[in-house]
Amino acid sequence: MTLVTHLINGELIAGTGRTADVFNPAIGAVSKQVALADRATLQLVIDSAKAAFPAWRNTPPAKRAQIMFRFKQLLEQHEATIAKLISEEHGKTIEDAVGELKRGIENVEFACAAPEILKGEYSRNVGPNIDAWSDMQPLGVVAGITPFNFPAMVPLWMYPLAIVCGNCFILKPSERDPSSTLYIAQLLIEAGLPKGVLSVVHGDKEAVDGLIESPDVKALSFVGSTPIAEYIYSEGTKRGKRVQALGGAKNHAVLMPDADLDNAVSALMGAAYGSCGERCMAISVAVCVGDQIADALVEKLTPQIKALKIGAGTQCGLDMGPLVTAAARDKVKGYIDAGVAQGARLVVDGRDLVVAGHEDGYFVGGTLFDKVTPEMTIYTDEIFGPVLCIVRVGSLEAAMQLINDHEYGNGTCIFTRDGEAARLFCDEIEVGMVGVNVPLPVPVSYHSFGGWKRSLFGDLHAYGPDGVRFYTRKKAITQRWPQRASHEAAQFAFPSNG
C-alpha cells in the first residue's frame, strides 16, 4: 500500500514506522497510509530548518520571489493532478478542488511581490546628521498546522509568504488527506527552493505538541476547530511564541424583504452545500427578516436542494461529493437527528442518501431546516456538513443581535437592495468578514483573512498585509555620522529632535 512520507531537508523520509490510514471517502475504504512523526523525526525537521535559516535569511528578496514565480507556473501546470489528489482523499468535487487551488495560487502571486512588501521605511535628518529607518526581519523557524478541508489552499495561505519573508517553514498538514499537500511542497522544491527551507511532517497530537514545545519554533499558524485553536494559542503564547490560530464558525446570511431572491437562492445553494458544507466560511444559517421572505426562500430552495447532483467527487459535473470520514458523516446525521428532536421543521432530509455504486461512501444529502431557534444545537454548533438552517426574525436589528450574540464571528453576509441597511450592517455587525450580496466574503490575497470573537485567537489575521506582519519583526534603526569638524558636549536630558 502507498505510504505518504515526510519531506525533510528536501528528501522523502518514511520515519519510524507509526502510520495512520488515509481513506477514499467515496468508497469508504483505505486507499493509502501516512507516516506519523515521533519526537525524533520532528527534531530532524527542526534541525534541518535551523541549518537552512542563516543562508536563506540572507538570500535577496528578489531571488526568493523568482522561486515563487516558478512555483506558480508549476502549480498551474499540475492543476489536474493536484485536484485529483484532493478529490480522492477529501471527497470534494474536481471543480471545487480546482477552485481551491486557484485561490491558493493567488497567495503565491502575492508572495511574488516580496521585494515590494518587505521594503522598510526611511526618514532622513530626524535630528542633526541623524537618519532613521525600519527593517522587516524574519523570525527564524516557523510552523503551520493546517486542516483537512482545504489541503491545498490553507497551506498556501501560510508558507509562501513566510518563506519569502526569509523564514524556514515546517508544515504539519492534516493526516486525513495529506497527498496533495506533500505533492505541492515537492513542486516548490522543484522550483528551486533550497533544502530545509520548507519541510512537511505528518502527525497527530504528538507532532503538534512537539512544535508547540520546541524553543526553536518561533511562531505557529493554525486553522481548525476552536477548541484546538484555543489550546495552541494558550500553550504557544505562554512559551513566548507568536501565534495566529483561526478557529470555528457559524456564518449567517441575512435576507431582507427587498432581497433579490433568485440571486440570494443561487448564492445560498453554493455557500451552504458547496464542498458538502465543510468550509469555515460556509453559510449554515439563513436569517429571514419576516415570514414572507422566509416562506418564499423555503419554496425556492427545496426543489434545488432535492436536485443536487451528488456522487464521487472525482466525477465531473457534480454539485457535492462525500464527507471526509465516516465519523464526519455520523456526526452530521446526529445533528440532523437532534434538530428533529428539538422541534425544528425538517424540510429536506439528507440522511438516507445512497449513491449507486458507492453504497459504502460517506454521503449525506443536502438538508434544510426551517423554524430553527437559537437554543437548538443545530443553531449553536458548527455542524460542518450540508445542513442549512432558517431562522425567522422581525427586523434587521433582531437579525444583527442574533449574530452578535453568537460566540463565533468569522463570516456573514446580507442580501438587500437597501444601501442604508447594508451600511448599518457592515458598521455594527461583530464579525470579521462581511459580504453585501456576496455569500462567501473570503478576502483576496492582498487583504487578510480572519474572524472575530472565538473564531480567531491572536492579533493578526492570515495572509496579506497581516501575514507579512506576522512572519516578520520590525527593527527600528537610528544612525548618526557626525561631521568630523564638529564636536558636541554630552547631553543628559532625554534626546529629542527639538
Residue 487 has pLDDT above 70, yes or no: no
Q: Which three cell numbers stand for residue 22?
A: 488515509
Query: pLDDT value at position 486?
Result: 62
Give the pLDDT mean for 231-237: 98
3-state secondary structure of 181: helix
Q: How large is the angle between the packed helices 261-273 and 291-306, nearest 10 degrees? A: 50
Query: What per-residue confidence (pLDDT) applies to 84?
Result: 97
Rg (CA), the chain: 25
CA distances from 37 to 85, 208, 359 (A): 22, 10, 34
Distance CA 226, CA 180 (A): 25
Conformation bin of residue 196: beta by default, left when phi > 0, alpha when psi is -120 to 50: left
To the query of whether residue 280 is one of the catalytic residues in this protein, the response is yes
pLDDT digits (tens, 9 = 90+) for 119-172: 989 999 998 889 999 999 999 999 999 999 999 999 999 999 999 999 999 999
Three cell numbers, residue 120: 522598510
> How far apart, in whole angstroms, are the C-alpha atoms of residue 170 and residue 45?
7
Q: Is 435 exposed, middle or buried (0-12, 13-18, 19+ CB in 10 A)?
A: buried
Residue identified by cell 446526529 is 334
Q: What is 3-247+455-477's CATH superfamily?
A: Aldehyde Dehydrogenase; Chain A, domain 1 (3.40.605.10)
Give the torsion sign (CA, 89, 94, 96, 99). positive
Q: What CATH number should be reported for the domain whose range is 251-436?
A: 3.40.309.10
Q: Note whether 443 and 107 are within 8 A (CB).
A: no
Q: In this predicted model, what pLDDT tens digit does every residue of 211-225 receive, in sequence order? A: 999 999 999 999 999
Which grid coordinates are listed for 107?
A: 497567495
Question: Quick one: pLDDT band at residue 17, thresholds 50, 70, 90?
Answer: confident
Count of beta carbons in the 10 Å neighbourhood of residue 95: 16
Contacts with 336 (C-beta within 8 Å, 6 or more apart), sequence order: 346, 349, 350, 351, 367, 378, 387
Output DSSP code: residue 389: E
The pair phi, psi for residue 438, each rounded to 5°, is: -130, 115
Q: Over the stretch 167-186, which tens digit does the pLDDT of each residue have?
A: 999 999 999 999 999 999 99
What was the pLDDT predicted at 497?
A: 61
Express each pLDDT in 24-38 by its tens digit: 999 999 999 999 999
pLDDT tens-digit series, residues 367-398:
999 999 999 999 999 999 999 999 999 999 99
SS3 string, 266-293, reads HHHHHHHHHHHHCCCCCEEEEEEECHHH
Other C-beta atoms closer than 10 Å to the C-beta of 31 total 16
C-alpha cell at 194: 533550497
**Distance in Å from the first CA to the final CA of the chain:** 74
Identify whether the C-beta of residue 299 lies closer than 8 Å to the C-beta of residue 123. Answer: no
Residue 465's closest CA among 450, 477, 486, 478? Answer: 450
Catalytic residue among 112, 276, 280, 413: 280
Per DSSP, 127 falls in state E
Q: Residues 321, 91: contact at Cβ < 8 Å?
A: yes
pLDDT higher than threshold 70 for residue 362? yes
Confidence of residue 498 (pLDDT cuts 50, 70, 90): low
Task: Give residue limits of the domains in the chain.
Answer: 3-247+455-477, 251-436
Cell digits of residue 66? 523568482
Distance (Å, whole) CA 232 – CA 3: 28
Averaged pLDDT score across all residues of the chain: 96
CA distance 491 to 470: 38
Of 177, 134, 163, the C-alpha closest to 56 is 163
Contact 106, 446 (CB under 8 A): no
Q: What is the pLDDT of residue 12?
A: 96
